[in-house]
Amino acid sequence: MLTDTPSISPPAAISLGFVGVLYGMHLLIFPCAVYVLCRKRLTRGILAMLAAVVFMFMMSTLLTVTLWTATILDGTIVGIYFNRGVRARILMWPRNMNLIAADAIVVWRMTVLYPNKIVHFGIFFLLFSFSALAIFNSIGEPADGPFERALILSTVASFLSFGTNFIATAALSWKAWIYRRRSPEAWRGSESLIAVNSAFTSLIETGVLYLSWQLLVATITYVSSYCNGSDTITYLLSYSDGSDQSCIAVQFASNAIAESTTIVAALYSTTTLVIVALKKSIADQCSPHPASVEHPLDRISSLRLWLGVCWVSYRWLVSSGVGEDEDTQMGLGYHVH
């Protein structure tokens, strides 16, 4: 039951603040990305990239607005671990869609720079498995389904996503190392600032930074799984004495990181597309004759495929009419009294 004057719990406030900072970064990057893409010749590849950038920004905005509404107006602790109703679906859906988009982009870059059909087959299988499981968990899973089943599905999906990014990042990093070894002059490392920019661009495109974030998320999630969920939630809501302080700290971190993963995935994907559009990618920097090389924009069919999956999922969510009963509409969440 909601109170007349809901208060903000510490984990909800931390999550909202963390998401707010990252969303502010996205607000700065988004118009720059749109400007860069619109200045290019509007081919089908550029239009698909522009649609992906706009789609991911919409997902980040939806997540931020939902978190703000839940924590500020309702005083609800939100997230998959606390909430299995409609609001959980609204939170999980943009998170999973941005994760799918981020994985699709790193896989697309790998298929461009690492032409190995066996590796391509394996990485596409992992990407398809993760996408199907993530969509089912956010849309197909019943709103009042068992908590343990939702947690297991979310954990398996996270491992599939991590495996996809690990293989793609390893392949891209290996290719970048070979390029650097064969053509060191192409990296223009004589000036320190240019060298740092080239290294940072390479880290973004290969997905090393994003993979590091995923590793942090997986570690925090794994550690938090050892905490007693019901006792932790009781402590967070009532602030009673005698609870495990380490569990509380882990839960705070898990809450903040889990909700901000959506925007991190969008930031990674957007910056990668900008790097490709500006022709600052590994292939452009290291190829002796960039004009004669097949441009990455010509091999964007996989990205269009996964954008289509995202759109179909959106239409399914809108037309499903999930949560007609009052309890479901309230989100089945825990409220601060």
Q: Is 104 helix (H, G, I), strand (E, B) or coil?
A: helix
**pLDDT tens-digit profile of 75-111?**
555 444 444 444 555 666 777 788 888 888 888 888 8
**pLDDT tens-digit profile of 27-85?**
999 999 999 888 888 888 888 889 989 999 998 888 888 777 766 655 555 444 444 44
Residue 58 lies in a domain: yes
Backbone phi, psi, residue 34, to 5°: -65, -40
How many domains, in total, are found in the chain?
A: 1
Residue 20 lies in a domain: yes
The tokens for 320 are 């499903």
How big is the CA angle at 261 (ends 322 and 170), to the nearest 5 degrees?
Answer: 120
Residue 77 pairs in a beta bridge with: 334
* Alpha-carbon gap, residue 68 to 229, rounded angstroms: 24
Residue 334 lies in a domain: no
283: nearest Cα among 111, 102, 124, 34: 111
Residue 130 lies in a domain: yes
**pLDDT tens-digit profile of 115-139?**
778 888 888 888 888 888 877 776 6
Residue 4 lies in a domain: no
**How large is the greatest C-alpha to C-alpha distance in the chain, in angstroms?**
69
313: nearest Cα among 149, 99, 67, 26: 99
Direct distance between the N- and C-terminal alpha carbons of the chain, in angstroms, rounded to an integer:
8
243 dihedral zone (left: phi>0; alpha: psi -120 to 50; beta):
beta
Tokens 């060298």 correspond to what residue? 195
Domain extent for 49: 10-286+294-323
Residue 163 lies in a domain: yes
Global pTM reads: 0.68
> Could you tell me if 157 and 136 are in contact, meaning their C-beta atoms sit under 8 angstroms apart?
no
102: nearest Cα among 121, 130, 80, 75: 130
Residue 308 lies in a domain: yes
189: nearest Cα among 201, 171, 175, 204: 201
* Alpha-carbon gap, residue 312 to 248, rounded angstroms: 38
Residues 299-320: what's their mean pLDDT? 56
Residue 47 lies in a domain: yes
